[in-house]
Amino acid sequence: MFRPRVIPVLLLKGKGLVKTEKYKKANYIGDPINAVKIFNELETDELVFLDINATKENRTISIDLVREIGDEAYMPFAVGGGIRDLDTAIKLVNTGAEKLVFNSAFYDSPELITKVAETIGNQSVVISIDVRKNAWGKLAFYTRSGTYNTKMDPLDVAKKAEELGAGEIILNDIVKESTMLGYNTELIKKISESVNIPVVASCGAGTLDHMKIAVDNGAHAVAAGSMFVYHGPRRAVLINYPTKEELIELFNKG
């Protein structure tokens, strides 16, 4: 039966796990390794770890932490944050990461994307397209944790990502992050129809039905943050994940 991947996105600030709101207000959640252990027990499909300060601090996501994650995780996982050269990319994959997520480096050094794809395989190269409306209400691609407006159209960015050799796109609407009110389905549909590589919908999920809607609009997989680390209206920290039976029922209902 049909079931797309459902992926928790975990944000790192150094070696601590945090959750942001619209890419701001980083609230401490806990220890990432403890989170991995819980997601192991919940039989999670896949994980994504993003170091939100790595690029701004001119460093890369901690290779030691990635090694710890790799030693503990039963599921495939992707990592991102400050990856700016081929040697680092190779080290991270050798340390245990199955996929590498690029955002700022994709814009600043597009040739790196092709080098990494040719060296370790395009299935391991993921472009994170962070989108926000500019002052004129037009969607634009942002880098550096959502602080720099490249003035590029997200549709052109997606096409370029595919041309450079990326094997997957994570699509993020910055203003929807942590709102738990649903994805930007119009954007998901537009981007999914423009490329032949998988598009992972991210930012905004608050219910399983939101995920079903995203898939119905073209997403190949769905990702979320708040939905998997918070519980209840007061947003108490509680790592959670739906059962396989719930997901099969969700994605196969009319």
* Catalytic residue positions, numbered: 130
**Which residues neighbour 246 within 8 Å (Cβ) at sequence distance 6 or greater?**
208
What are the CA-CA distances from residue 103 to residues 65, 66, 79, 190, 233 (Å)?
Answer: 20, 18, 12, 20, 32
CA distance 99 to 213: 26
CA 216 from centroid of its chain's CA atoms? 19
Within 13 Å and on the Cβ side, how many CA atoms surround 18?
18
Contact 187, 171 (CB under 8 A): yes
| Beta bridge mates, 125 | 100
CA distance 74 to 91: 20
Q: Which 3-state string (H, E, C) describes 51-119? A: ECCCCCCCCCCCHHHHHHHHHHCCCCEEEECCCCCHHHHHHHHHHCCCEEEECHHHHHCHHHHHHHHHH
CA distance 194 to 149: 22
Which residue blocks in 19-62 are alpha helix, DSSP H?
32-41
